[in-house]
Amino acid sequence: MAESGDENLYAAARDIARALGKDPSAAGDILQILSGYGASSGNSRTTAARGGANVNLDRSLNSLERQISSYIVEDRPIWSDPVDSRNFLDAVDELIAVAGDLRSMAGDKSVAVCISRADELIQQVMFRLQEEFGYVMDRASESFDSDDDFSGEEDNDDTSYARPITDFKFVIEALQSSVIGDLNAIAIRMVAGGFGKECSRVYSSRRREFLEESLSRLHLRGLSTEEVQETPWQDLEDEIDRWIKAVTMVFRVFFPSERLLCDRVFSDLSVSSVTDLSFMEVCRGTTTQLLNFADAIALGSRLPERLFKVMDLYEAIQELIPKMETLFSNQYCLPLKHEADAIHKRLGDAIRGIFMELENLIRRDPPKTAFPGGGIHPITRYVMNYLRAACKSRQSLEHILDQTGNETGSDTRPLSVQIRWVLELLESNLEGKKRTYRDPALCFLFMMNNGKYILDKVSDNELGLILGEDWIVKHTAKLRQYHSSYGRSSWNQLVGLLRTESPYPKLVESLRLFKDRFDEVCLTQSQWVVTDKQLREELQSSVAGVVSPAYSNFISRLKESPEINGRRGEPFIAYTVEDLELRIKGLFKESSS
């Protein structure tokens, strides 16, 4: 009866502690107060009270040891039975509370053995809870609908249909609420027992597997740095497209969903860092895999054609940085955020290097042989299409060039100055190429063709806005100069044959010379190339505007010559004005063979 009374007194002490809003571990102190209530103060009664408390705690520990051991030795999972799991948790709570009570009397040598027993039993309990935590997660993953595919494709009657994802505002409910409740209950006890890191380790290992499986459905190849360096660029372009879709899905859907799940599983913990640690461990592997690919691209070749895909990588990370700042704001995740920032910067450095390499490409394209027909040279097409496409990412390029110059203190030029410099190099290169033509008229036609192409490429787009109206006006005037120089070098000399005031025999000779020279020029220039229809028609019109009136006046003077009187008929005139104009319309081809 006495033992039962002591146990009841201890239980009452715990109830009082709870009612006062104190930790149940304070029951030992309350028990001492109750044991000595109404008695006179004195060492003998205090010692007796402490001794009674020790006896009661020892008996409670014995009872808990028997109860808990019956669960620990079980082969089947405790959480396979809801009743067993509730009873086990109650026993664990009681054990943790008793251990707390014992530690509050740690100065008493008589309780040292009990503390050691309690700690050993807690360790056994924690190991079993760790197993149960894994069991609950594994059981949940087996029941989770593994057919959900986040790759953007769905199968129907053996046919794959693209289902592009444009709205990322949804959450993956990977675990049912009841499962989350069980995990949270276990996590609370493991953290209270000092096994928070072990709990986090089990949780993160299971969730990493889920993320890895989800990532594999996005068809990423998971290339190493060495494999990226060895893979042909064309294949890497496809991988970059997949990478951008994957990284967007990961940071807009997968990681926010994992953060929410972490917050729910590890809610109401006495140690909040477990939540942040678990989330970091879940995300670290996937984040590292994604960033390593981007880093390998950043460290790759600086060939100019790589600019656009590297820019896609840069802008994809740029758009996700605000999301990363939110998700990776805690102390454990900050290194991941810093690594993402560093790789984003290295991509920017790569873009700057690639863009600067365009200058070297122009310099390495020296004039060798004349380009057929004086048409638009491939280097002109390449550079202008390159610049036009690059300027679609104007803001990013401006930021990269400005930031790199500020950070390194180098002479990095702003984007507008850089583009003007590239175009100056291109024009200088074309000036060198025009000297490969023997015919001066073809030199100017070549410059006109390429100048017109350059102007067309800067009209009505970002490239034109960057260069500015003054640049466009200046180069439009330069194009008119090429046009005038072409006319002077080709047709003015020919027209000069028709502007003679010589006697009749000389006029006839001039007509013959004009016809021969006109036929020769038309034959030659009919093989020259003017790709732009508007320019071709303008040139034909300007030639006709110079030649036709002069020819018409010449024929009129010839027919009106006094020396024609008395002669038999008029001199032979091969072309009428209309014939002449028809021949002029045959000048220039649309493209070179």
- DSSP secondary structure string for all residues of 171-194: ----S-HHHHHHHHHHHHHHHHTT
Q: Residue 540's pLDDT is what?
A: 96
Residue 95 — very low, low, confident or very high, per pLDDT cuts 50/70/90? very high
Residue 114 — very low, low, confident or very high, per pLDDT cuts 50/70/90? confident
The residues that bridge with 529 in the sheet, in sequence order, are 589
Beta strands in 425-567 (DSSP E): none
Among the listed residues 530, 537, 362, 512, the one whose alpha carbon sits nearest the alpha carbon of residue 441: 530
Pair 101, 57: CB distance under 8 Å: yes
List pLDDT tens digits, range 337-350.
Answer: 999 999 999 999 99
Pair 592, 372: CB distance under 8 Å: yes
Q: Which residue has the higher pLDDT, 564 or 415?
A: 415
Cα–Cα distance, 559 to 196 (Å, whole number): 113
Among the listed residues 296, 186, 320, 309, the one whose alpha carbon sits nearest the alpha carbon of residue 237: 309
> Can you tell me the mean pLDDT for 158-168?
44
Q: What percentage of the chain exceeds 70 in pLDDT?
A: 83
Cα–Cα distance, 270 to 193 (Å, whole number): 11
pLDDT at 146 over 50: no
> Can you tell me the mean pLDDT for 139-162?
51
List pLDDT tens digits, range 27-38.
Answer: 555 555 454 444
Residue 567 — very low, low, confident or very high, per pLDDT cuts 50/70/90? low
pLDDT at 44 over 50: no
> Can you tell me the mean pLDDT for 424-431?
94
Residue 434: CB atoms within 10 A of its CB come to 21
pLDDT at 43 over 70: no
List pLDDT tens digits, range 366-383.
Answer: 877 778 899 999 999 999
Cα–Cα distance, 309 to 418 (Å, whole number): 20
CA torsion 489-492-498-501 (nearest 10°) is -110
Tell me the helices (H) and strands (E) count for the chain, helix number first: 23, 2
Pair 191, 269: CB distance under 8 Å: yes
Q: Which residue has the higher pLDDT, 151 or 219?
A: 219
C-alpha 224, offset from chain centre: 18
At 19, the amino acid letter reads A
CA distance readout (Å), 363 to 31, 198, 237, 304, 385: 92, 62, 27, 13, 18
Residue 71: CB atoms within 10 A of its CB come to 17
